[in-house]
Amino acid sequence: MGSISQFNAHDYEVIARDYADLKEAARKRCTDQKELDVVQKAFEFANEAHKGVRRRSGEPYILHPIAVAKIVVSNIGLGYKSIVAALLHDVVEDTDYTVDDIRSLFGDKVATLVEGLTKIKTVLDNEDKAEQKSIQAENFKRILLTLNDDVRVVLIKLADRLHNCRTIEFMPEHKRDKILSETMFVFIPLAHRLGLYSVKSEMEDIWLRYKEPEAFNEITAKINRNVTDKDKEINEFIAPIDDALKAAGFRYEIRKRVKTPYSIWNKMNNKGITFEQIYDLYAVRIIFEPDVATKETERDQCYHVFSIITGLYRYKADRVRDWVNYPKNNGYEALHCTLMSHSGIWIEVQIRSRRMNEIAEKGIAAHWAYKKDGFMDGDESEMDKWIAKVKDILVSPDVNALELLDMIHNDLITTDILVFTPKGEQRSIEKGATALDFAYSIHTHIGNRAIAAKVNLRLVPLSYVLKTGDQIEIITAENEKPKREWLDFLKTRKARSLVLDYLKGERQESIKIGKKMLEEQLDALGYKLNDKTLNVLMEGYEIFESKPDELYFRIGAGLLKLSGLADILKKSQEKKSGSWGFSWFRPKEKKEDYVIDGADGKHRYVIASCCNPIPGDSVVGFLASDGTVTVHKKTCPTANNLAAKFGDKIVMPKWEHAKTQNLTFLVRLSLKGVDRIGIINDITRYISFVLNVNIRKFNLGTEDGVFEGYIDLYVNDMGDLDKLIKKLQKIEGIQSIVRTDL
């Protein structure tokens, strides 16, 4: 909540205006006046309950529930009970009213939704429990448990989180980082999995705006310039399509859109390319009303549109995506193709029926609405199956909160492929799954007894990674049983947990084997297996149980590789000796909430090796139990993972000037360009002699007149790096040069 003060005439005017907008949106979704009356009653009740209360931004608090209700109806497409629950979602938590009061006024279903939302709010906002190591993980477990009660609770929570992201500028920085990391780790994948693309895209853009403000502003400016330049060309591209569809008798609309800043940034980072190298920047969406008078099905009409437009323009065969025949596991259906315009730019065209477009924009809510109204067959959809699978994971007694959070996160971000049984039955399975995963997806007994597989009639090992369209037959033997080595290549949670269940029966044997393996490895490195070493390893491998048996078991069962053992022990020694203590960091003003060991507030700062931040990067720190702060880039996936799980350990370090202390940092630059005699010599000479920069590693190769590779070198800070990139870009032949991860 926020401060309490008298509202003025302007406040009442803003409340009335925002509610009028909501009422207009609700009118389109409510089926009769009775439902609208309940929405009105909920608004009046919430407005009175929050009277005089303001948010951190200074605006009346009631504007938040109104905004959440508007997202619920406009972006997600839920009905009046969800609109009412959204309006009331903070009343029980922040005022003297109880769930029973809500029940007596608005009925059981609304009360249940509000109760679910109140539980989530209580656990997410309760920072008094911050000493619990996995408080965030426990919180998310509780959020996802509401999937068991009513998925609408999670959908309204997503609307609540989206509005909190929209107003995140009013939060203190450490709280902002916690919220953004939680959003990236769980809420964004959850929105994607439930088909809420508009919610997902907006959250992603807000995440980028605050995590990498310079990149966000630069990309946004380039998009705006490009759109202005290319708008005429896009219109010229659309005109013949418009004429041809009209002539064919279609009822349709055509919309233009451009990639979001986050999707561009993500592509630039993942593929190591520049903005100028993204060729599918623009998309055109054709949304048609299916003609019920024709014998053509809705799907046939999609292909009909495809044949018309590919008769006008050349298309890129490897960029056709048929989600009409094979819908995505979140219910998304459309036909995508990329066409070459007459002016020479690639434009993605998305073909959808009105129903497909509703599902693409409103996700699960539209999917259920069409199912209920008889537009879809009654079979269980992939989305329904996923929700059933999540419920199954949530009620498992063997899974602790941190493991569960990782499972759900991984499950949210996976994509599926389509494969076939020997009889031609179609099945979807996680991308990257093996033949053995497939065996377990058929039946536990088949998985346990598997010895090999035939894929497309060819004999392959159980570790074979499946591809879309593969037909798989599993070969079994009665005396076969699960092996520890299987855990090295199994991908799906179901298969891994079934093998683990089997191996748990041999837990004591695994503990014995694991202890012996650890002793041998430690001995080889010159260490003894004692309490001190065990404490270091338990923390290094993030095992929070009090007894070392869990560590031994994981090693013995093959769940934990000892390849990183030397690094963990070495880092522990370096921390102790202080050789990693960097003085170019200083904490921002000390926060009471984040008490730092030592009365003088000094820490040892460690640069995270996963993302190697340099001065000038936006950074976030995580405080370890020994007082060490590990510093990551704000956009580092590991940092987002940690902040989502251990939000109470976040500290906000600030760079000091590294130049004054003559400190340098290792970065990698990836280069591509046109080969010419002497270009490699020019690049190295320029870096070493003209710019006086120290090169650590050089890896460039040339093939068919093109060179590609990377250079690892040392710089003082981001300013130096930017200057270096700008100067290198002037060398003849270099086409692109970008900073990439080491």
In this structure, of 284-288, 307-311, 399-403, 479-483, the range with the lowest mean pLDDT score is 399-403
Residues 233 and 256 in one domain: yes
| Closest of 647, 595, 592 to residue 621, by C-alpha | 647
Lowest mean pLDDT among 201-215, 431-445, 595-609, 695-709: 595-609
pLDDT at position 219? 93
Alpha helices of 132-212 — where are they, by DSSP H? Answer: 135-149, 151-166, 173-182, 188-193, 197-211
Query: Do 44 and 155 share a structural domain?
Result: yes
Q: Which helix (H) or strand (E) holds 696?
A: strand 695-703
Q: Are residues 483 and 543 in the same domain?
A: no
Domain of residue 154: give its range. Answer: 9-170
- Percent with pLDDT over 90 in the chain: 25
Mean pLDDT of 219-226: 90
SS3 207: helix
Q: Which of 73-77, 98-102, 643-647, 719-723 is the least confident region?
A: 643-647
Q: 706 and 647 share a domain?
A: no
Same domain, 236 and 365: yes
Region 544-561: what's the mean pLDDT? 79
DSSP-derived secondary structure letter, 452: E
* Average pLDDT over all residues of the chain: 81
**Are the beta carbons of 352 and 287 closer than 8 angstroms?**
yes
Q: What is the CATH number of the domain that holds 717?
A: 3.30.70.260
**Active site members:** 93-94
94 vs 338, which has greater pLDDT?
338
Angle between helices 637-645 and 401-413 (to 10 degrees): 140
Note whether 324 and 464 are same-domain residues.
no
**CA–CA dist 21, 27 (Å, integer):** 10
Choosing from 136, 170, 204, the residue where a domain stops is: 170
Is 196 a domain residue?
no
Q: Where does a domain end: 372, 387, 405? A: 372
For residue 394, CA distances in Å to 139, 217, 275, 390, 588 come to 13, 40, 42, 6, 39
- Token pair belonging to 444: 């536990």
- Could you tell me if residue 613 is inside a domain? yes
- Whether 281 is covered by a domain: the verdict is yes
Q: Can you give the pLDDT at residue 88?
A: 92
Q: How many residues does the chain have?
A: 742
Domain count, the chain: 6
The pLDDT of residue 66: 95
Phi, psi of 687 (to 5 degrees): -65, -50
- The more confidently predicted of residues 402 and 353 is 353
- Contact by Cβ (8 Å): 251, 289: yes
Highest mean pLDDT among 367-381, 644-658, 714-728: 714-728
Question: Which residue type sits at 153?
Answer: V
Angular region, 571: left φ>0, alpha ψ -120 to 50, beta rest:
alpha
The answer to whether position 406 is within a domain reads: no
Look at residue 395 and tell me if it is in a domain: no
Q: Considering 343, 372, 401, which residue would you say is the last residue of a domain?
A: 372
Q: Residue 89 is part of a domain; what is its CATH number?
A: 1.10.3210.10
Task: Kindly state whether residue 383 falls inside one of the protein's structural domains.
Answer: no
- What angle in degrees, to the nearest 10, is found between the helix axes of 213-247 and 197-211? 150
pLDDT at site 520: 86
Residue 264 confidence class, pLDDT cut points 50, 70, 90? very high
Q: For residue 244, what pLDDT is reported?
A: 95
- For residue 649, give the DSSP letter: G
Shared domain check, 603 and 572: no
Question: Do 218 and 323 belong together in one domain?
Answer: yes
Residues 589 and 523 in one domain: no
pLDDT of the residue at 258: 87
In this structure, are 639 and 668 located in the same domain? no
